[in-house]
Structure formats: C-alpha cells, structure tokens
Chains A and B, each alone.
Chain A
Amino acid sequence: MERNQMHRQVSVMRQSLFDQGYLDEQFIQLEELQDDANPNFVEEVVTLYYRDSSRLILSIDQALERNPLDFNKLDTYMHQFKGSSTSIGAKKVKAECTQFREYCKAGNGEGCMRTFQQVKKEYTILKRKLEAYFQQARQVGPSETACRPRN
C-alpha cells in the first residue's frame, strides 16, 4: 500500500479511537511526552499498562470469588486499576471503574460482579484496538501525529 495512504489509515484509526470514546485527551498527553529521546513512549506506556493491569484483573477476579466479599480490598484494587487506566486515557474502562467503585461503596456485590464483566470487556476491546493501531503505526514509521514537534 502506498505510503501516504498508510499514513492516512493510521491517522483515521487514531481519530476513531477518540471519536468512538475509547480514548480521551490523556492519550494526547502521552503523545506529547513522545519525542526523539523517547520515540516509543506511547507504546511502551500502554504495554506497561496491559502488563500491570492483567495482574490486577486477576486479583479482582479472585477477590470477587470470596464469600463474603471484602469490599475494602476490592475498592483498593479498583482504585489502582482506575489510576492506571486514567493515566493512559482509557476512557470507557475508566468509566466502568468508577461504576464499580460506586457499587463497592454501596456494598453491592452483584453490581460489582456485573460491572467488572463490563470493565474486562472494555479493557479487552481497547487492547485489541490499540494493538492494531500500534502495529499499523510501526509500519508507517514516526508520524506527525505521534511525536511532539521540537520547538
């Protein structure tokens, strides 16, 4: 595929992640932190997110199987998970995390379990989309959308 076309395709992919509400402006902050000294910053940070989060998700899954539920523990895990989701701009994941915390505060186990399914769903969808996006972006090479221009 012609290079300009590939560039456009990456741009369109990126824009749709914002338009469809998967990412918020925090992702742009990550892009702003990417420069010649840190050319793969965004992908590295996102990779770190998925690595750390998979552990948290496992912990939450296990905690949700206990009887009775330890809402404090669940809340602490989710607080961490929301923090990192927020840091990469994972908009939908973040919203589900907030919902989960509300159920925790209310001591609503059913609500927590239901919402956590949603958290995992949004998390997985975003992961697939970001993987596809980075794969395309890598093929094209550094682009104007990904790197903060040097002043």
Chain B
Amino acid sequence: MAPAIEGMAPAVESSEGNNKMSKGYQYPSWKKKLRGLLVDNAELCRIVEKGIMGLCGVETQAVETGEAAVELIASGATFDLIVIDRFLPSMTGAQTARKMREMGVESKIIGLFASYFEGDEEDFVAAGVDDFKEKPLSPNWLVPILRELDN
C-alpha cells in the first residue's frame, strides 16, 4: 500500500463505488513512545477518544475525574499528551489543568469541549492549557500535534 501523506486526508478510496467517504487513513507511527492521559467523565466519550488516540499511536490511559488524573501524576506517571474534558464531576477540567501546571507538569495539555461557544475557552487558557478543541477529537487535528511532540 502506498504510504499516505501524513496527517492529511484519508489515503485510500474504498473499492466500493458507492462509498463516497474514504477509508484506510494511514495512521502514523512515531519515533518516540508517546503516552497519553485522557480525562473524561463520560464512558462513551472515553472509549471513543481513547480509541482514536490509540489509532494515532498514543498509548493512552483514561480516567474519569480530575482527581484521578492528579493522583496518577502525583504517583509519578508522566505523559506526553494530556486531554481534559471541560466538564468533570467535581474538579473542573480547567481546575485539573491548573493543578497539573502547579505540580510542574510541562506536557502538552489540550482542553476538550463537547460544545464550544466563543469565550468558553477562557478558564482553560487561564489554567495553562496549550490548545483546545471542540469534540470530536479527530486524527486530522491530532496528528500534526503529535508530530511536533515526536520531534
């Protein structure tokens, strides 16, 4: 199979004539072993987002709360990429990000929104996240970020 252009649109058109949506996106592999932490309270979202991060070559741990994420980091776990949902049950996404920065976490932190209105990102940005995204977390968006982390 011819290599795809990394991070770009899907590489291979399906052989089925009536399938307009392309399949066979060439998922990348990285020089470094990229480790991810996903913080999302919704089980469905956790499953899907973790899967997508995995497809993009990030070995990902998923937790349900900000507290659980902070505990992991306090126990010495390190991550290249941390993805945090905005709404978490007690500690909010922004509070979680802020706590991590206070703990000295320098990893790339991304704030995730189920629904984004302009201005929603303020508390995340103030907390020190590097970027934010409205769901869904897509390979097209994630891969360029990962490529930077890999260099």
- Interface of A toward B, CB cutoff 8 Å: 11-12, 14-15, 18-19, 25-26, 28-33, 41, 45, 48-49, 52, 76, 78-80, 82-84, 86-89, 97-98, 101, 105, 144-145, 148-149, 151
Do B44 and A52 touch across chains, with their CB atoms under 8 A apart?
A: yes
Closest residue of chain A to B40, judged by CB?
A: A83
How far, in Å, is A89 (CB) from chain B's closest CB? Answer: 8
Closest residue of chain A to B48, judged by CB?
A: A87
Q: Report chain B residues within 8 Å CB of A18.
A: 20-21
Do A101 and B115 touch across chains, with their CB atoms under 8 A apart?
A: yes
Alpha-carbon distance A28/B14, docked complex (angstroms): 12
Chain B contact residues: helix, strand, loop or mixed: loop
16 A-B contacts (beta carbon < 8 Å): A19-B20, A32-B55, A48-B44, A48-B47, A52-B43, A76-B87, A79-B114, A83-B45, A83-B85, A83-B114, A83-B115, A83-B135, A87-B44, A88-B44, A101-B115, A105-B117
Q: Report chain A residues within 8 Å CB of B1.
A: 151
Alpha-carbon distance A56/B1, docked complex (angstroms): 44
Interface residue from A49, A105, A145 paired with B44 (Cβ < 8 Å) = A49
Q: Does B75 contact A (CB under 8 A)?
A: no
Q: Report chain B residues within 8 Å CB of A83.
A: 42, 45, 85, 114-115, 135
Closest residue of chain A to B112, judged by CB?
A: A83
Provide the B76-108 mask, 1 if CB < 8 A to any CB of A, else 0: 000000000101000000000000000000000
Do A15 and B115 touch across chains, with their CB atoms under 8 A apart?
A: no
Chain A contact residues: helix, strand, loop or mixed: helix
Closest residue of chain B to A100, judged by CB?
A: B115
Q: Report chain A residues within 8 Å CB of B42.
A: 52, 80, 83-84, 87
Q: Does B136 contact A (CB under 8 A)?
A: yes
Alpha-carbon distance A52/B24, docked complex (angstroms): 30
With A79-B114, A82-B114, A83-B135: A29-B21 Cβ-Cβ less than 8 Å = no
Q: Does B148 contact A (CB under 8 A)?
A: no
With A33-B48, A145-B16, A151-B1: A86-B87 Cβ-Cβ less than 8 Å = no
Do B136 and A87 touch across chains, with their CB atoms under 8 A apart?
A: yes
Q: Report chain B residues within 8 Å CB of A49.
A: 44
How far, in Å, is B95 (CB) from chain A's closest CB? Answer: 16
Interface residue from A30, A80, A145, A149 paired with B48 (Cβ < 8 Å) = A30
Do B44 and A45 touch across chains, with their CB atoms under 8 A apart?
A: yes
Q: Does B52 contact A (CB under 8 A)?
A: yes
How far, in Å, is A50 (CB) from chain B's closest CB? Answer: 10
Q: Report chain B residues within 8 Å CB of A149.
A: 24
Alpha-carbon distance A15/B117, docked complex (angstroms): 31
